[in-house]
Amino acid sequence: MVNRESALDDIFQALSDATRRQMLRDLAQGERTIGQLAQPHGMSLVAASKHVKMLERAGLLRREIRWRSHVCHLQAAPLAAAYAEIGAYERFWTGALDRLDQLLRDEDSTSETSPKHGDTA
């Protein structure tokens, strides 16, 4: 059985490459052969197959063989684990930005109530 951390490592490694991310976006539109996935990138079938194998190892696509063609299908479920992992950081940054926003509002309200330089009472 693959542990959760190892599976996340595979997913993030697969997503670390722009070509593989584009392949996943293409697969979100429907099934594609390896040749169809390779074509927009001007790469060989061998190079595209290496990308497909990495996506397959991460569980992000399923490959089926139809006669002589390898047809790929998006498997989006593993992305939920990656999204949940990133969500923890999103909550951190949202909280930090909310605190910064409040500090700036407090500073603005303090400067509005204090006398301006050069003002006489």
Task: Give the residue extent of every domain in the chain.
Answer: 4-76
| Predicted pLDDT of residue 76 | 92
pTM of the model: 0.71
pLDDT tens-digit readout, 88-116: 887 778 887 888 888 888 888 887 776 66
Range 4-76: architecture per CATH: Orthogonal Bundle (1.10)
List Cα–Cα distances, 120 to 46, 109, 115, in angstroms: 79, 20, 8
Q: Which has more pLDDT, 61 or 104?
A: 61
What is the three-class DSSP state of 117?
coil
Asked whether the predicted pLDDT for residue 120 surpasses 90, the reply is: no
Residue 9: CA atoms inside 13 Å, Cβ hemisphere, count?
5
pLDDT tens-digit readout, 16-49: 999 999 999 999 999 999 999 999 999 999 999 9
CB atoms within 10 A of CB 46: 9
